[in-house]
A = this chain, B = another copy of it.
Amino acid sequence: MTQFFADIAPITYQGPDTANALAFRHYNPNEVVLGKRMEDHLRFAVAYWHSFAWEGGDPFGAQTFERPWHPQDQMDRAKIKADAAFEMFDILGQPYFCWHDADIRPEGADFAGSLRNFEEIIDYFLGKMESRKTRLLWGTANMFSHRRWMSGASTNPDPDVFAYSAATVKTCMDATHKMGGENYVLWGGREGYETLLNTDLTRELDHMGRFLSMVVDYKHKIGFKGTILVEPKPQEPSKHQYDFDAATCIGFLRKYGLEGEVKLNLEQGHAILAGHSFEHEVAVAAAEGMLGSIDMNRNDYQSGWDTDQFPNNVPEVALTYYHILRAGGLGTGGTNFDAKLRRQSLDAKDLIAAHVGAMDICARGLKAAAAMIEDGGLDAALRDRYAGWDSNDAQEMLNSDFDSIFANVVSGKINPQPRSGRQEILENYVNRFV
């Protein structure tokens, strides 16, 4: 056992009135909400990269964190990092975690060397998981940090990088499968461009489509039953990322015939960067049956980059879970915190508290969403507003043509009268629950 979290006891549910900074006030895993345990609704996951691999740097500053597993270039320290991570999973009672290959293993001298390191650490993880409840929500490949990916992975102008990417994803899918992961995620942070001047957009999109088809083929070949997910983000690090937002990804999947095979991992911060609310992105994916999983980390509304902060606004989180619950829940997905501490939050206690607070916010949001669903007020308002479309006349009209509709309108039979959209009343309604 490491000493990193030595002073911190497992977090317990103590109810809304506790002043204990390290207790759950709302997250009570076994509490039943809409007929299901809260833990089974929320399916929380820790993001290994932000919580354990990120060292506190930003574009203007170096490392601020000093961890027992620094520097992260040796296998023995990778194991110390894993020890601390699983200790945190235990403290939080976390059901899931997620990794990139590069978070968990030191880079090797070459591909084969990196792979050996990776396989060794996967086995080390598996040993830890034997006696624990924590499972893998998803694995993914880091194909953006090393300089070889600077011009993209599957969309790289150099076919050798495509090859290196394919080999990398294969190993990450193998590891995810071996660990019983429930999803496999692709985030294409470098799949985009810095300038159109040096970019063959058509060719790159075709290569990305082909790559994703290979992912799907490989999934079936190895019998992986999890869900393949892509994660939209409009930009950063690229000036433009091909997986811009949910609608763009869905269009891309449909173009390459993958709409039945791939779903979306949506992140609140990325929604905001793309000019959307998070509930918009969730609703768009849900409308197409492509809601896969969520990264429930917020962006600062005054910052133009991805701040990846732990969620802290219940009203926003509640609307997200409302749309998730209406879509039937998260399925094989979960609530991942793709969130990092602020770089001034140096202490182990900060790391625990950040997760505790985030889990509580999500629990409050979930309960508010469930209460709205049980109350039924929003559903009733929607049914009422669109009731006209439920008539036979309306459906016949919808299936007719311009000429017949025109005849009805020009005769004066149809003269539509506006009705209030009642937005403020509905917003007030939501505020009864959050």
Residues of B within 8 A of A178 (CB): none
A303's contact among B111, B236, B247, B385, by CB below 8 Å, is which?
A: B236
| Distance from A425 Cβ to chain B, minimum over Cβ atoms (Å) | 5
Nearest residue (CB) in B for A170 is: B402
Known: A56-B147, A166-B402, A345-B423. 10 other contacts (CB 8 A): A60-B237, A63-B147, A162-B397, A166-B406, A195-B421, A221-B401, A235-B275, A247-B252, A342-B423, A350-B420
Interface code A102-128, partner B: CB below 8 Å = 1, 0 otherwise?
000000001110010000000000000
Q: Are B161 and A416 in contact (CB under 8 A)?
A: yes
Instruction: Say whether A287 contacts B59, CB under 8 Å.
Output: no
Known: A112-B410, A428-B356. A196 touches B61 (CB 8 A): no
Q: Verify if A432 is at the interface (C-beta below 8 Å from B).
A: yes
Are A194 and B388 CB-contacts (below 8 A) given A25-B432, A280-B240? no
Is A201 at the interface (CB under 8 A from chain B)? yes
- Give the complex CA separation of A175 and B215 in angstroms: 51
Known A-B contacts A61-B145, A170-B406, A421-B342; the reply to A357 vs B427 at CB < 8 A is yes
Which listed residue (B112, B388, B431) contacts A159, Cβ 8 A? B388
Considering the chains assembled together, what is the distance between the CA atoms of A411 and B111 in angstroms?
A: 8
A interface SS class: helix
Interface flags for A249-272 (1: CB within 8 Å of B; 0: not) read 011101100000000000000001
| Alpha-carbon distance between A244 and B197 when the two chains are bound, in angstroms | 24
Per-residue interface assignment for chain A, residues 294 to 323, with 1 indicating a CB less than 8 Å from any chain B CB and 0 otherwise: 000000111111100010111110010001
Within 8 A of B (CB), among A189-240: 189-190, 194-203, 205, 207, 210, 214-215, 217-218, 221, 234-237, 239-240
